[in-house]
Structure 1
Amino acid sequence: MRRYKGRFTCRYQFWLMEISHESFAAKCWRRDLAKKDRNGASDPFVRVRYNGKTYESAVVKKSCYPRWNESFEFELDGTLADSLLSVEVWDWDLVSRNDFLGKVLFNINKLRSAQQEEGWFRLGPDKSKHREYEGNLGSLRLQLRLRDEVVLPSSHYKPLTELLSQSVSSQLDSNWPDLIMLIDETTTAESRQEVANNLVKLFLSQGLVKEFLDVLFKLELEKTPEPNTLFRSNSLASKSMESFLKVAGMQYLHRLLGPIINRIFEEKKYVELDPSKVELKDAGCAGLHRQQTESDVIQQSSSLLQSYLSELLTSILQSASYCPLLICQAFHQLHHRVQERFPDTEYRKVKFIAVTSFLCLRFISPAIMSPKLFHLREKHADARTSRTLLLLAKAVQTIGNMDTLACCSKEPWMVRLQPAIQQGITQLKDFIMKLVSCHESEDFGLQTRMRLQCGTMEKEGFLFLHRTKDKCIPMTSPFKKYYVMLSKDTLSYSRTQHYKKSSSISLLKIRAIEKVEEKCFGSANVMQIISSEDSGQQETLYLNCKSVNELNHWLSALRKACSHNTNAMSCYHPGIYKADRWSCCHQKEETDPGCDKTRHGVTLQEWYDPLDPDLEAQLIYQHLSSVQHAMRDKYYKLRELQGAQETDSITDQKKVDGLTKLFSILQDLHDAHAAVEEEERLKNKNVFLELQT
């Protein structure tokens, strides 16, 4: 038995609710944020802090009533008494320092008894501010939920996992994939994303995610008479495919978008096509003696956007060769099912739009608009870069919709990009045809499988490196350029790529791979590799990467290569040992235990990363237990609807038996959990009696 204790989620919103006059009178505090900018609004974002970890939301521009609808998950530290979760709201500024707008503090120990807190919370001032500001800073709508998961041994989940596996592997040729259909019909909109994530990960661990997605495709197509609305709702099929792409294609996305995103961030060009939003003072001068006109700005912006779009489309076309095989197969199934459902000539574009609705609208475009949320950049974009990214994402969405007229009718100023967009639609169709036919090539399949099985652990390139054996870090930069190579068994490095002399570390001796605090070396892209020699002496190797994208790829590759090491450290120092103390926790002994927990999971969540099927099965069990009565009612309603039709009594009996088996499995798991709870209760009672004695 394993206990996942104190995994809590902070979900936050901030908006002006539509409420009645009576309830408004009961809640008399203001819900609007302070206005910090000259335009009479703010550019707010949320910063959440707990136990040394900090997460930030996206920035909502020019709003005192923003909506984030984001959530972050923290791991609760049971050793901290009266620990606090701080939710702060800040006004983002491009030039000056960010302005503090207020905060809410939560005592996590109190949350243990309540399990959940939800509602409007007044933003309070910083301690340094006078209390007269309290109550005048607006309010934040939050939902905090504490989850205490008890994961039983694998044998308890085997019947549930087998039943779910049978429901997708044996129902592909049937018109009634009963169990998955019932899950689809009874899952609420609030829990759909979480259920989709759990099911995708469980079927990935069973090697049946293609079959699972195919069943969902069939279900969605059967209840969608109008092809124009296909996969546009937040159904279980849409959420599952979206989750699958994020889990299976994160490294693919980084390779695809990394260069163009970095270029846009580095160039910081002023780009604007909408005449009503052109700011000539921001655009700069056209020459030494002439201020740019609005027409100059729009023409220059159009050229820049076409350049960015051309580079991105070229990258997309080339990506068919390295797109993960599993994603190619999923898109092939989707393309094939849509073509079967809508075979008429007038719907010939629908099979392409079905693919682009996920690839472009739910995967590539969101990553372009918010690169930080997809780990493409370490910080949010400034206002100028953010606008460029938004315009590029709009162009990609238009190409994904394969309809230039609809976009140009709503936003006429996009017409300047119409030729580039039309060319992009043709290129995207060619790319999709390559993508959905990739799995048919035996050579491609073999190469991809080899790349997925062993190639992901092979990585090489120039990095700046520093190696220490119980040495202090010098004041000057200790890093030197080396060619680093990660193979199946070792991490080696030498002065040049073909240098005869090289040093190496056995992967089996690596105990931790972690990031280093930015203040240590003045760079946020430094990682440390902690290993042990045969003598027991500990050694640390520091690697300085060029960008956060490169850092994430090295972390991912190294952690994957060392995922089965048995001597992994449970804690580490995120700082360095310098001036007779650790920079992170100020402990004076170099051998003192680390002050932060190690993270042995990989950074880029790919489908072939180590999964935890028992935890996913536990979460699915919880969901099915909560909706089992609704599933039973839904099943009998569906039977009544089919009563007028001729049914196969043998097939119908199998469905009843399957449903009965599911409820029996859920009851067995409930009994097993009850036995564990009773055992813990008796154990705690015995401890109490011993203390009394």
Structure 2
Amino acid sequence: MSERVDLWNNGNLVQDIFLGEIKVPVKVLRNDSFQAWYLLQPRENGNKSSKTDDLGSLRLNICYTEDCVLPSEYYTSLRNLLLKSSDVQPISASAAYILSEVCRDKYDAVLPLVRLLLHHHKLVPFVAAVAELDLKDTQEANTIFRGNSLATRCVDEMMKIVGKHYLKVTLKPVIDEICESPKPCEIDPIKLREGDNVEINMENLRYYVDKVFREIVRSSISCPTVMCDVFYSLRHLAAKRFPNDPHVQYSAVSSFVFLRFFAVAVVSPHTFHLRPHHPDAQTSRTLTLISKAIQTLGSWGSLTKSKLSSFKETFMCEFFKTFQEEKFTESVKKFLDDVSSTESKEPSGVSEPVHLKEGEMYKRAQGRTRIGKKNFKKRWFCLTSREFTYHKQQDKEPIFTIPIKNILAVEKLDESSFNKKNMFQVLHGEKPLYIQANNCVEASEWIEALCRVTRCNQKRLSFYHPSAFLNGNWLCCKATVESTEGCARCTADVPADTQIEIDGDRETERIYSLFSINRSKLQKLEEACGSIAVYQGPRKEPDDYSNFTIEDSVATFHTLQQIIDTVEKLNESHEKYQKKRSSSAKYGSEENPIVGKVS
């Protein structure tokens, strides 16, 4: 007799997913000390017949990959080789670029590569480098970043990873409204149903487009910093490549943030976790029309020709005749300026600070232990996407600067602390900064702005003290040690979906596996470099290496040797580990799980 155990994943947005099952003999369960690991097995149908006539058919192509992740020190050489890719000249000779060259599907390489570079804060310079290479082959400004190159795929994947919460706070409310209370929006005369009024439908569509567009162009404060950094780099490179085109700096950014991010999320909200299910046919059609409109509005800031000429459909031309082009163009340009400022004349790969808020408030002197009116002084505060500063007067040099990345929490302060209303505190690792706003509305606005711009800070606090530390104790909990952990949970804690959990070793192992699988292509690329004139031996015909990008055969050859050597060493480490596991690990342990069903 045996007991069957099923494992399901109930966190899926659509429905629960069956992961696998095992069968364990009942007799072993009677042993109190029984512990064992089992590999999950497919579901067993037994002798029951399935009614296939009623179910239709489904073909699945499933790829199962088992990665054995070694301790971190084993990946040091490969990790360092990948992380220094952006410093290699030319970029096509780097390990990261070679990875994309040898993989049949670039997506296989892009996903672990982007995650690894993000984890180690190396993605922005790498994207800038591959984008510059991409631009060398771009002859027309109006086709900039429109293909599926390594650069565009890296940006696409980066936006999916870091932009989930950005999409949620920007689009989810309006997408929910469209899906839950749909209005007819069909304006194509061929697709109109009997009884439809095209004028009413056009008004409905215009209402939705206006609302989605408005949410997007006012969302720059929520745009993740790494996205702003990438957009800045792309904008600068585009302007450098086409110096005589004043619009290309906008199209370089809009081609991603509007066409490949917001427009795609609108037409497919379930894919971006904005909706639990695929929308019905009518709603899907509405979302498609809205997406088309958003793509066009997003490109208005970068078009030199007539805006309406970009439409193939006559009905869309008629729809857009109701839009005030200048008004929308200026809104798009301002939004693109906010998420990709180019005030700096020198390229740095990092966006310039975007101004978010400023105003005059009262600040209490930090470190004072007693209550007193003289401790509060009027100061000019300024918040940008990079730092929070205060000054004696407007346009004066800052007296004190707090980098945004150092802010740990922003919370209200109890009125009882200093017998003053409208106070809030900024916790940043030193003494808390206590600020009094002029009114409750202003206090709420500052707290919201500061919380939004610091929402992705990894070291944010979960607990804080709602009152001040005065006269040797915290007024809220009476603790006498100033460094005591807070006694109240932060009200503006970081949303769970802004956290990016990346296992750097896991991603490096995946990249190693890709290199190992494509060993023959690495060797072919190595031979191609060796056949070029700087090496001895006959030069091979161009067809032998025309599929590879080889700008510098010497540098590429050197990197290939390092990759192959590193992969061989990791192969040896894996073989040793597998032998050790099979010979020493107890059967039924995590290292050597039981395979197959036990009956």
Normalising to structure 2: TM-score of the pair?
0.63
Q: Is the 8 A contact 1:313 1:424 kept in 2?
A: no
State the partner residue of 2:562. Answer: 661
Aligned with residue 337 of structure 2, among 433, 446, 465: 433
Instruction: Say yes or no: does 1:109 pair with 2:13.
Output: no
> Aligned partner of 1:440: which letter?
E
Aligned with residue 625 of structure 1, among 496, 503, 516: 516
Q: Is the 8 A contact 1:269 1:384 kept in 2?
A: no
State the partner residue of 1:392. Answer: 290
State the partner residue of 2:234. Answer: 334
After superposition, the Cα gap between the structure-2 partners of 1:258 and 1:328, relative to the gap in structure 1 and judged at 3 Å, is same
Instruction: Say yes or no: does 1:243 pair with 2:134.
Output: no
How far off is 1:155 after superposition? 0.4
- Structure 1 distance, partners of 2:408, 2:318, is 44
Aligned with residue 318 of structure 2, among 384, 400, 415: 415
- Structure 2 distance, partners of 1:457, 1:624, is 46
Deviations 1:428-484 (A, max 9, x none): 233212321173238524348955555689799xxxxxxxxxxxxxxxxxxxxxxxx
- Structure 2 distance, partners of 1:219, 1:81, is 57
State the partner residue of 1:523. Answer: none
Instruction: Say yes or no: does 1:207 pair with 2:121.
Output: yes
Q: Is the 8 A contact 1:201 1:616 kept in 2?
A: yes
- Look up the SS of the partner of 2:340 in the other structure: helix
- Structure 2 distance, partners of 1:251, 1:77, is 31
- Look up the SS of the partner of 1:659 in the other structure: helix
State the partner residue of 2:220. Answer: 320
After superposition, the Cα gap between the structure-2 partners of 1:201 and 1:160, relative to the gap in structure 1 and judged at 3 Å, is same
Aligned with residue 678 of structure 1, among 579, 584, 596: 579
Q: Is the 8 A contact 2:100 2:110 kept in 1?
A: no
State the partner residue of 1:310. Answer: 210
> Aligned partner of 1:660: which letter?
Q
- Structure 2 distance, partners of 1:308, 1:76, is 40
State the partner residue of 2:384. Answer: 444
State the partner residue of 1:144. Answer: 62
- Structure 2 distance, partners of 1:244, 1:265, is 27
**Percent of paired sites with the same residue:** 25
Which consecutive unaligned segments of at least 5 residues does structure 2 have? 1-5, 26-38, 343-350, 355-382, 389-401, 414-450, 467-474, 478-486, 536-551, 590-599
Q: Is the 8 A contact 1:306 1:417 kept in 2?
A: no
How far off is 1:678 after superposition? 0.4
How far off is 1:653 after superposition? 5.0
> Aligned partner of 1:488: which letter?
L
Moved more, 205-214 or 403-412: 403-412
> Aligned partner of 2:352: which letter?
E
Instruction: Say yes or no: does 1:258 pair with 2:172.
Output: yes
Deviations 1:206-232 (A, max 9, x none): 111101211221232233344444433
State the partner residue of 1:166. Answer: 84
After superposition, the Cα gap between the structure-2 partners of 1:687 and 1:340, relative to the gap in structure 1 and judged at 3 Å, is closer
Deviations 1:552-606 (A, max 9, x none): xx9xx86x6xxxxxxxxxxxxxxxxxxxxxxxxxxxxxxxxxxxxxxxxx85255
> Aligned partner of 2:79: which letter?
T
State the partner residue of 2:253. Answer: 355
Deviations 1:352-376 (A, max 9, x none): 2232222122211121122222222
- Structure 2 distance, partners of 1:141, 1:421, is 49
> Aligned partner of 1:424: which letter?
F
After superposition, the Cα gap between the structure-2 partners of 1:163 and 1:401, relative to the gap in structure 1 and judged at 3 Å, is same
State the partner residue of 1:405. Answer: 308
Q: Is the 8 A contact 2:21 2:40 kept in 1?
A: no
Q: Is the 8 A contact 2:93 2:556 kept in 1?
A: no
After superposition, the Cα gap between the structure-2 partners of 1:175 and 1:146, relative to the gap in structure 1 and judged at 3 Å, is closer
- Structure 1 distance, partners of 2:193, 2:570, is 63
> Aligned partner of 1:109: which letter?
Q
Q: Is the 8 A contact 1:247 1:605 kept in 2?
A: no
After superposition, the Cα gap between the structure-2 partners of 1:53 and 1:81, relative to the gap in structure 1 and judged at 3 Å, is farther
- Look up the SS of the partner of 2:146 in the other structure: coil
Q: Is the 8 A contact 1:198 1:619 kept in 2?
A: yes
Pairing 1:542-557 to 2, within 5 Å after superposition: none
Aligned with residue 198 of structure 1, among 96, 107, 112: 112
After superposition, the Cα gap between the structure-2 partners of 1:223 and 1:641, relative to the gap in structure 1 and judged at 3 Å, is farther
How far off is 1:162 after superposition? 0.7
Q: Is the 8 A contact 1:398 1:421 kept in 2?
A: no
> Aligned partner of 2:160: which letter?
K
Aligned with residue 243 of structure 2, among 343, 348, 354: 343
Moved more, 207-216 or 316-325: 316-325
Pairing 1:6-405 to 2, within 5 Å after superposition: 51-53=8-10, 55=12, 109=41, 134=52, 138-171=56-89, 174=90, 176-189=92-105, 192-281=106-195, 294=196, 297-345=197-245, 348-402=246-300, 404-405=307-308
- Structure 1 distance, partners of 2:526, 2:113, is 21
State the partner residue of 1:103. Answer: none
- Structure 2 distance, partners of 1:378, 1:278, is 28
Answer 1 or 2: higher relative contact order, Cα 8 Å, separation at least 6. 2
Deviations 1:74-128 (A, max 9, x none): 895675679xxxxxxxxxxxxxxxxxxxxxxxx96369xxxxxxxxxxxx9xx8x
How far off is 1:350 after superposition? 3.5
- Structure 2 distance, partners of 1:375, 1:368, is 11
Q: Is the 8 A contact 1:258 1:376 kept in 2?
A: yes
After superposition, the Cα gap between the structure-2 partners of 1:492 and 1:440, relative to the gap in structure 1 and judged at 3 Å, is closer
The CA RMSD measured in Å over matched residues stands at 4.5
State the partner residue of 2:432. Answer: none
Q: Is the 8 A contact 2:231 2:339 kept in 1?
A: yes
Larger strand fraction of residues: 1
How far off is 1:687 after superposition? 9.0
- Compare CA radii of gyration and give the structure with the larger one: 2
Moved more, 423-432 or 152-161: 423-432
After superposition, the Cα gap between the structure-2 partners of 1:362 and 1:641, relative to the gap in structure 1 and judged at 3 Å, is farther
Q: Is the 8 A contact 1:198 1:620 kept in 2?
A: yes
Pairing 1:557-576 to 2, within 5 Å after superposition: none
How far off is 1:616 after superposition? 0.6
Q: Is the 8 A contact 1:182 1:634 kept in 2?
A: no
How far off is 1:382 after superposition? 3.6
Q: Is the 8 A contact 1:621 1:666 kept in 2?
A: yes
Q: Is the 8 A contact 1:273 1:414 kept in 2?
A: no
After superposition, the Cα gap between the structure-2 partners of 1:335 and 1:73, relative to the gap in structure 1 and judged at 3 Å, is farther
Which consecutive unaligned segments of at least 5 residues does structure 1 have? 1-48, 58-71, 83-106, 112-123, 282-293, 461-484, 494-499, 503-532, 534-553, 561-601, 645-650, 689-693
> Aligned partner of 1:674: which letter?
E
State the partner residue of 2:463. Answer: 490
- Structure 1 distance, partners of 2:218, 2:24, is 53
Q: Report how many aligned residue pairs link the two structures.
A: 444
Q: Is the 8 A contact 2:20 2:41 kept in 1?
A: no
> Aligned partner of 1:154: which letter?
S
Normalising to structure 1: TM-score of the pair?
0.55
> Aligned partner of 1:682: which letter?
S
- Structure 1 distance, partners of 2:461, 2:588, is 49
How far off is 1:278 after superposition? 2.0
Q: Is the 8 A contact 1:213 1:330 kept in 2?
A: yes
- Structure 1 distance, partners of 2:242, 2:526, is 28
